[in-house]
Amino acid sequence: MSKKITDRITWVGKTDWELKKFHGDEFTTVSGSTYNSYLIRDEKIALIDTAWLPYDKEFVSNLKEEIDLSKINYVIALHGEIDHSGALIELMNQMPKNTPIYCTANGVKSIKGQYHKDWNFQVVKTGDTLKLGETTLTFIEAPMLHWPDTMFAYLSKENVLFSSDGFGQHFASEHLYADQVDQDKLYKEAIKYYANILAPFGMIAIKKINEVLAMNLPINMICPSHGLIWRENPTQIVKKYLEWAGNYQENQITILYDTMWNDTRKMAEAIAKGIQNKDKEVTIKLMNTAKDDKTDVLTEVFKSKMILVGSPTVNNGYLHSIAGILEMIKGMKLKNKKAVAFGSYGWSGEAVKQITEYLKIAGFDVVNEGIRCMWTPDKQLEKELIGFGEKLV
Ligand code: FEO
C-alpha cells in the first residue's frame, strides 16, 4: 500500500513485518524492516529504489496500482544491494525497455554483477543533476556507506535527502515517520544498525556528512532506504551519526564469555563484582556469546569503553562462539577501546593468551595479559578475580 509523503513524493515500498534475519544469518531484525521506495511526480516521474527480491511481484503489482509503469521516466538505484534492487528484473520486464536506470559507476558493476542484464544505465557522480520539472535531483556519491556503489540523492524544492542505508533502521511500523514511534525503540534500532553495518566506515561517514553539511542544503526530511523517515528535526540523526562515528563510547564495560561447566561464567561474575566495587556508576553487561544475540553483542561492544572476553581452553584453543564474535568485532574496526581476556582451564590453558593476541589484532588497547583460573574458582581465587576487576577501573 502506497503512502503519500508530500504532493510530489509517495512511499511505494514494502513493510516486512516478519523479517527476523538480515544479511543471511548475520543480523537479527527483531523489529522487522522496510524496503523504502519513493515515487517522485513532477513533469518527469522518477522511482527511487525498489524492494527485496522475494517481494518483487508484490512490489510491482502495488506500484501499478499507484501509477502506470510506462509513465515512469527514470529509475534511480541509490545502491545495488538486493534488498533495494531485488525487484528490478520484475520491474524492468514490465516497463518500456529503454527506461534509464541512474546509478554510480560502481552501481552498474554491482547491478550487472547480480542480475546480468544490459539495462540502459546512466552513470552519475557527485554534483550531477537530473531535472524533473520544478524539482531537481542532485546526486552525491557516498561510497562505502555501505557498499562502494552507494549514493545519496537530494530533491530541491521539497528539500528531501534520500540517504540510502545511511540513517536507516530495521524497523517495521504502521507509521512512516520517526517522530510517530517510541523514541527509545527507534534509537535502539538506529544504533544497532549503525554498529552492525556502518561502524567500520565511521571516518568515511564523518567526511561524507561534513561534505553534505558544507553544501548548506535546506533539509526538511531525510528518507532512508530502511525504516522510518526523519521529519521532525531531521538532522537529529545526522548529529547522532557524527557522535557515533567519532570513536564513540559510553560509560560501559561489557563482559563477553562462553563457558562449558560454568567456571568461566563464575570468573566473569567475580570480575564484574570487582568492577562494581570500585565504580558504582559504570554500566556492566555480561553476555554469554553462545546464548546472546550476536547483533546485540556487537551493539554493546560498540557502546563500551572496555570489553572483557573470556573462554575456557578447549583443544588448545577457545570456544567457537568466542572465535566467531571476535572475528565480527575485528571487522568493526573500532578505535579507542580497552580490552582484556580471561578464562578457566584444566591443563594446557592457552585460550587467554590467544584471545589477548586476537584483541590486539582487532585494534583494542589490551590493558594487561589477562587472568586464568585452573579448574573451578575457590574462595581464594574468587577474591583474586574481584581484585582483578577492581584494578581494571
Ligand atoms: Fe539495505 Fe546495503 O542495503
Please tell me the distance between residue 283's alpha carbon and the centre of ligand 1 in angstroms.
32
Residue 340 has pLDDT above 90, yes or no: yes
Mean pLDDT across the stretch 20-28?
94
Which atom of ligand 1 lies closest to the CA of 150?
Answer: 2
Cα gap 331→216, rounded to integer Å: 34
Cα gap 17→14, rounded to integer Å: 9
> Could you tell me if 252 and 285 are in contact, meaning their C-beta atoms sit under 8 angstroms apart?
yes
Q: Is the CB of 14 under 6 A from ligand 1?
A: no
Please tell me the distance between residue 310's alpha carbon and the centre of ligand 1 in angstroms.
33
Domains, the chain: 3-245 (3.60.15.10), 253-392 (3.40.50.360)
Cα gap 222→168, rounded to integer Å: 9
The tens digit of pLDDT for each residue in 134-145 reads 999 999 999 999
Q: To 10 degrees, the CA torsion angle through 380, 382, 386, 389?
A: 120
Which atom of ligand 1 lies closest to the CA of 165?
Answer: 1
Catalytic sites, residue numbers: 23, 79, 81, 83, 146, 165, 193, 226
Q: Which three cell numbers stand for residue 45?
A: 516521474
Q: Look-up: residue for cell 520491474?
A: 91
Q: Which three cell numbers stand for residue 11?
A: 512511499
Q: Is the CB of 165 under 6 A from ligand 1?
A: yes
Cα gap 106→110, rounded to integer Å: 6
Q: If DSSP codes are grouped into helix, strand and coil, which group holds residue 375?
A: coil
Instruction: Tell me which residue has its CA closest to atom 3 in ligand 1.
Output: 81
Residue 37 has pLDDT above 90, yes or no: yes
The fraction of the chain above a pLDDT of 70, given in percent, is: 100
Q: Is the CB of 149 under 6 A from ligand 1?
A: no
| Residue-level length of the chain | 393
Residue 1 has pLDDT above 90, yes or no: no
Which pTM value belongs to this model?
Answer: 0.96
Q: Is the CB of 170 under 6 A from ligand 1?
A: no
Q: Cis link prior to 175 (omega < 30° from 0)?
A: no
- Residue 75 makes CB contacts below 8 A (sequence gap 6+) with 46, 47, 88, 91, 92, 95, 99, 100, 101, 102
Q: How many CB atoms lie within 10 A of CB 257?
A: 27
SS3 content of the chain, % helix, strand, coil (to 5): 35, 25, 40
The tens digit of pLDDT for each residue in 41-87 reads 999 999 999 999 999 999 999 999 999 999 999 999 999 999 999 99
Mean pLDDT across the stretch 170-188?
98
Across the chain, mean pLDDT equals 97
Compute the chain's Rg from CA coordinates.
24
pLDDT of residue 184: 98
pLDDT of residue 206: 94
The tens digit of pLDDT for each residue in 238-297 reads 999 999 999 999 999 999 999 999 999 999 999 999 999 999 999 999 999 999 999 999
